Structure 1
């Protein structure tokens, strides 16, 4: 049976210069094949030690048991600072904890039910846009980016993407995300804190433009809250929530930081996941037909319909296993620790790789194969608990994980209900990781209306 595409691995030994060059081109193919079997691997540079950890109990130690001892590395997201400022994605310690106490209530289960009609409307709009694209080859990542951005605008600010401000933000984000890797050279060569960071003028200008547009949306919403006319959406919920420990709310500037990461994380990662899932459906038409049949249950914007999309959920979960949108995350050891009889010094980087963990040959049955039924097997259930983290894990688990697991299966089901999907011959996608796991030259599909 055909296997889903997987990037090549680099030779076992390369120089630091060669690695940096490969790393800049693509994080995934810059890694050696042995990481798919290793429990732990050490990477040495003249500046620091880095340790990739795949052993489930060590991953649990870092993310769940002792997260305060392994904060997020400040080096790895240098390229995102002009846009994200002091957002929850970049902060650590008490600042991060305060931010999560304010943000998390907006994404609780009951709120998902409240935002579902807006999500449904965005999915319907995506299907309508695709109707004009049938019968020809289309680059589906462009379409899923549009759909995911529409979901964010409708659920966060109660405006569709066609709204003038929303379309401007979307356009600017597309420019930014194509030029900024989530891991950059600062992850390899640590710069002193006092040394100024130099960003290209395009990066700074695009980030400033996005923040100005978000600031306008935020100020308009604050005025509506004061006037008592604000809609009951995610932005209003977050902006009116007080920290139960300090009694503080987000300032206007703090809210701009958070909206930037909601859009970047929620839009970019969802677009990646949905695009790869649609490609997998083209690759495995039997599963496509199963989901199309299941999607007949979609009759209206009632949240209860999600309980009937079980196959769609399993397929989407399997796609997240094979193509986790954020392929690597980096923590930093605050104190010396011993992992697998190795002394890990203070300041060392601890790399956690969903990409390698999800395909680990000593953990998963058929690790590189597409099998949505695995989630009902004993191996699948165990790996789900111990070796599956598309949204991270522990206290820093993505606050929008539940949101994404509704959005993805819903849009997927709506598309498959109305269209048959085929892969374009000669254009097999090659996974690469920059900001998220995307395809080197896009994901090309052909859609045909179902009768």
Structure 2
């Protein structure tokens, strides 16, 4: 049995049809042939896009020559209402300055420093799930609550209560359903001075999320000024000077960064955890192995995380099959040659983790859920060259290690004493806007072991 994936569209559709399909869902808008293609060209009247599954090309774009392939603002234009001028969207000197300030917060022993907050959020999540034992529930709101709790505890040293978590989840839910990764500017040459065509719900949801973040960030700055701030991620980032200029983030700049931390540390983690729980309900033998492993480890001890190898492989496999961020878009800045084809400056280079992780010329049984693959020669090879849940190269997600600890800890804590089971509801259908979610939720039954 294979876990669900979206049904691909017919090979040929008009640009107008493609735009409508893409706006509804990125994944099902793509043809089936992309799962076996090394490269595909998409043409509009105004620009060319090249989706690349060729690992040598991907290595050149992300690792060897990243400055020649900056982030495309065709993506940035869709996310800017929420993320502003965050490190996720910037390029060049601005991005380099932001990373110089942000990266120290995630280096070396910082994971050990944040572990107590992750552990406490996992405990709280386990208590909430235990209270739901015997019920059939949509798991996605619960994993969103858990992931929001983690990010608020680690960033601001405050647990998030259920009401606020639901409010934030609904705001993100409205945002991602109302604004896909690419908007009209992705297909048309709209000048910078023209309105971007954001929908009203998009603007309202983004303002709501950013107001919440601004309130917390402004309060933290006052605590820093008074010398009473806790030493969490927000404080570390807001008090870290740029080693080249000595300047720090002001409150408005920090709001932009917290917005992407929240998106990366909440929305993406919630997506991954929900799909992991679904996959373990779908494959109960693997769930039993995770539970047994969790019972042999001391989950209060950071050093024990390295012993949760089965759980880690399960989470890695989840990120392969359901990468929370389904694609990245870069832009060419000079003439290029891709697979003997001339590519002009200004072309879009699409690296689709969704298709790369299921490329049937690279992976053995790419649509199967098989956590054991990571111990095989094929799995190790693909892990090096064809596995990009956190991107790669200089723009790799600074919180990748954090996310892996969080995912493993959550699964171990939840499944040590609880079981998740499939219900009689229809299987979830993956769709992608901001992240890969289920079209109609993921229904699971919570059972005490």
TM-score bracket for this pair, using the shorter chain length: over 0.9
CA contact (8 A) 1:36 1:357 kept: yes
| In 1, Cα distance between equivalents of 2:409 and 2:208 | 32
Structure 2 matches for 1:109-128, cutoff 5 A? 109-128=108-127
In structure 2, the residue matched to 1:375 is 374
Is the 8 Å Cα contact of residues 268 and 436 (structure 1) preserved in structure 2? yes
Counterpart contact for 1:77–1:184, Cα < 8 Å: no
Q: Which residue of 2 aligns with 1:48?
A: 47
**1:29-428 to 2 correspondences below 5 Å:** 29-162=28-161, 169-170=168-169, 172-428=171-427
Q: CA deviation at 1:165?
A: 6.9
Contact conserved, 2:326 with 2:353, CA < 8 A, in 1? Answer: yes
Could you tell me whether the CA contact under 8 Å between 2:3 and 2:368 is conserved in 1?
yes
Separation in 1, partners of 2:167, 2:2: 39
1:446 paired residue number: 445
Return 46-55 or 127-136, whichever deviates more.
127-136
Does structure 1 conserve the Cα–Cα contact (< 8 Å) formed by 2:145 and 2:165?
no
Taking structure 2 as the reference length, the TM-score comes to 0.97
Distance 1:163 1:271, change over 3 A: closer
Instruction: Give me the TM-score of the superposition, normalised by structure 1.
Output: 0.97
Deviation at 1:128, TM superposition (A): 0.8
- Would you say how many aligned residue pairs link Structure 1 and Structure 2? 449
Query: Judging changes above 3 Å, is the alpha-carbon distance between structure 1 residues 123 and 86 closer, same or farther for their aligned structure 2 residues?
Result: same
Deviations 1:198-227 (A, max 9, x none): 333333233223222222211211111121
Structure 1: 5+ residue runs without aligned partners? none
Which whole-Å CA distance do the structure 2 matches of 1:205 and 1:431 have between them? Answer: 26
Contact in 1 for aligned 2:38/2:53 (Cα 8 Å): yes
Please give the secondary structure, in 2, of the residue aligned with 1:77: helix
Q: Is the 8 A contact 2:282 2:421 kept in 1?
A: yes
Residue 12 in structure 1 maps to residue 7 in structure 2: no
Shift of 1:256: 0.7
Greater displacement, 292-301 / 91-100:
292-301
Could you tell me how far 1:168 is from its partner in structure 2? 5.5
In 1, Cα distance between equivalents of 2:306 and 2:394 = 27
Classify 1:194/1:262 alpha carbon distance in 2 versus 1 (closer, same or farther; 3 Å).
same
Separation in structure 2 between the aligned mates of residue 378 and residue 211 of structure 1, nearest angstrom: 45
Q: Point out where structure 2 has 5 or more consecutive residues left out of the alignment.
A: none
Query: Residue 137 of structure 1: CA displacement?
Result: 1.2
What do residues 12-48 of structure 1 show as CA deviations (whole Å, max 9, x unaligned)? Answer: 1111111111111111111111111111111111111
> Structure 2 CA distance, aligned partners of 1:430 and 1:389?
22
**Structure 2 CA distance for aligned equivalents of residues 195 and 275 of structure 1:** 39
Secondary structure, counterpart of 1:76 in structure 2: helix
* SS of alignment partner, residue 74 of structure 2: coil
C-alpha distance in 2, partners of 1:268/1:244?
31
Cα distance in structure 2, aligned partners of 1:128 and 1:420 = 14
